Amino acid sequence: MITEKAKFADVFKNVYLKKKSPVSLIHFLTNRCNARCSFCFIDFDNPNSFKNELTLDEIDKLTKNLGNTLLNVNFTGGEPFARKDIVDIAKLYIKNTTIQSLYITTNASLPERIIEFAKIIHDYDNKIELSFQISIDDLPKKHDEVRKIENLFDNCILTYQELKNMKNDKIKPSVNITVSHENCENIEKIFYYLVDEKKIDSLKCCIVRDEGVYSTPKDKIKKILKAYDWLTNKILEYQKNGKIKNYNTASIQGKIHNKKDEIAWKMIKKIYKTNDYISPCHASSLFGVITADGKVYPCEILEDKIVGDLRRHNMNFMELWNSDNNKNIKNFILDTKCRCTYECALSFNILGNWRYQLKLLSSLITRY
Ligand code: SF4
Ligand code: SF4
């Protein structure tokens, strides 16, 4: 059994054979955000960016049409906690879908709302795993300057500690560093400050992507890659000495996730450096994106490959997912050997591809 609701046989057949319904979705709940990061892909100057968010009624309908193999949904934005009805949205996903985990990316500017959310949702369903990915990209002063919110760094640490203090293995905060042109020259200091001084023991990272209105300054590409390489190696070292525990390595699932991260980091470095193709992407089959106004895409990057507009299809996600248009998009992704450094997509590309299964299984005898 994978979850109380999704059946192991259905998930297995879908992931390894059919690849016809999503196992993970990213839902941009809103484009609104109180921060203004220089590397953000949202066009804050365009008032249309914030219009026409899906309503609760629409999300209710949507969540009743997400297939029978969905295991995880990522709430993101904008700042997802800017939506005051985020608790109701989470409850709809839990009530109407087969998810076992809810993953929320947040700038942690609203700690009280986050803590309350964790308590309410855990009371609502204590089997759902709640992961909070708190974005911290720099030392306190610079972090607040880059994101343009006073005391934001302190609120990130407060949120992390309060979630940790709940001492509940279903409530998992982690800090995520996006390596970008802003912080690449300072990454070592940031790492040691977070881990040694602020006692952050769950720390992940990603590499900035060209997306929306953001484009990486060309002269920074090598430095960004060097910093990302250093950081991923350091996280690996600290996982081995026990100072960082991103997953529960006493469990099979935790060991496999650790290995999956290691494989993904290597792939990301190679693709970032050489743009070489490594293996097929399962976006638009196992993985997809829903925008704040109800458009469905294979991923965050292929902005010209819209799968469809949920509002024009009575919020029926699976109708769009099984459409001829989506078949064409999947063929495009395969035929063009589409590749990128998008971590979420890579995770599912690794987990859903036979060629990585031996490596993943080797994690069971690896010492973390
Ligand atoms: S916190 Fe996230 S959504 Fe908000 S401006 Fe920064 S990158 Fe964009
Ligand atoms: S490789 Fe990247 S850009 Fe291409 S479909 Fe997958 S996630 Fe999207």
Helix 252-274 with 343-351: angle, nearest 10 deg: 120
In 3D, which of 43, 57, 47 has the Cα closest to residue 85? 57
Tell whether ligand 2 has an atom less than 6 A from the beta carbon of residue 345.
yes
In 3D, which of 25, 13, 3 has the Cα closest to residue 344? 25
Instruction: Give per-residue pLDDT as tens, 86-97.
Output: 999 999 999 999
Could you tell which of 37, 135, 143, 210 is best to mutate to test the pocket of ligand 1, judged by most ligand atoms within 8 Å of the CB?
Answer: 37
* Ligand 1 pocket by Cβ (under 6 Å): 33, 35-37, 40, 42, 77-79, 107, 147
The helix, strand and coil proportions of the chain, stated in percent and rounded to the nearest 5, come to 50, 15, 40
Extended beta strands in 82-228, E state = 101-106, 129-135, 171-179, 203-207
Extended beta strands in 90-249, E state = 101-106, 129-135, 171-179, 203-207
b/e map 43-67, b = 16+ CB within 10 Å: eeeeeebbeebbeeebbbbbbebbb
Q: How far apart are CA 50 and CA 32, in angstroms?
A: 6
Handedness of CA 107, 112, 116, 122 (dihedral sign): positive
Question: For a pLDDT cut of 70, what percent of the chain falls above it?
Answer: 96
pLDDT at 274: 87
Q: How far apart are CA 57 and CA 97, in angstroms?
A: 15
pLDDT at 30: 96
In 3D, which of 65, 61, 55 has the Cα closest to residue 98? 65
Confidence of residue 338 (pLDDT cuts 50, 70, 90): very high
In the chain, how long is the greatest CA-to-CA distance? 54
Q: Rounded to whole angstroms, what are the CA distances from 346 to 57, 133, 184, 272, 280? A: 32, 18, 22, 13, 9
Q: Which atom of ligand 2 is nearest to the CA of 345?
A: 7
Could you tell which of 26, 33, 45 is best to mutate to test the pocket of ligand 1, judged by most ligand atoms within 8 Å of the CB?
Answer: 33
Could you tell which of 272, 339, 346, 350 is best to mutate to test the pocket of ligand 2, judged by most ligand atoms within 8 Å of the CB?
Answer: 339
Nearest ligand to the CA atom of 81: 1
Instruction: Give per-residue pLDDT as tens, 109-129.
Output: 999 999 999 999 999 999 999
- State the first-to-last Cα distance of the chain, in angstroms, to the nearest integer: 26
Nearest ligand to the CA atom of 176: 1
pLDDT at 213: 67
Instruction: Give per-residue pLDDT as tens, 14-39.
Output: 988 889 999 999 999 999 999 988 77
Q: Which atom of ligand 2 is nearest to the CA of 344?
A: 7
203-207/287-290 β-pairing: unpaired
Q: How far apart are CA 320 and CA 316, in angstroms?
A: 7
Going from the Cα of 223 to the center of ligand 1, the distance in angstroms, rounded, reads: 22
Angle, CA 100 vertex, CA 98 and CA 106 arms, to 5°: 115
Instruction: Give per-residue pLDDT as tens, 33-66.
Output: 999 887 788 888 888 888 899 999 999 999 999 9
Contact of 131 with 80, CB cutoff 8 Å: no
User: Could you tell me the two tokens for 281?
Assistant: 């992407």
Q: How far apart are CA 359 and CA 276, in angstroms?
A: 21
Q: How far apart are CA 275 and CA 341, in angstroms?
A: 9
Confidence of residue 2 (pLDDT cuts 50, 70, 90): very low
Secondary structure (3-state) at 323: coil
Q: Rounded to whole angstroms, what are the CA distances from 241 to 198, 199, 224, 246? A: 18, 15, 26, 12
Q: Which atom of ligand 1 is nearest to the CA of 31?
A: 3
The residues that bridge with 13 in the sheet, in sequence order, are none
Q: How far apart are CA 86 and CA 113, in angstroms?
A: 10
**Residue linked to tokens 């992390």:** 160
Secondary structure (3-state) at 248: coil
Range 134-162 average pLDDT: 95
Nearest CA to ligand 1 atom 7: 40
Secondary structure (3-state) at 322: coil
pLDDT at 71: 92
Nearest ligand to the CA atom of 77: 1
Q: How far apart are CA 199 and CA 173, in angstroms?
A: 13
| CA 173 remoteness from chain centre | 13
Q: Which atom of ligand 1 is nearest to the CA of 39?
A: 7
**What mean pLDDT value characterizes the chain?**
91
pLDDT at 275 over 60: yes
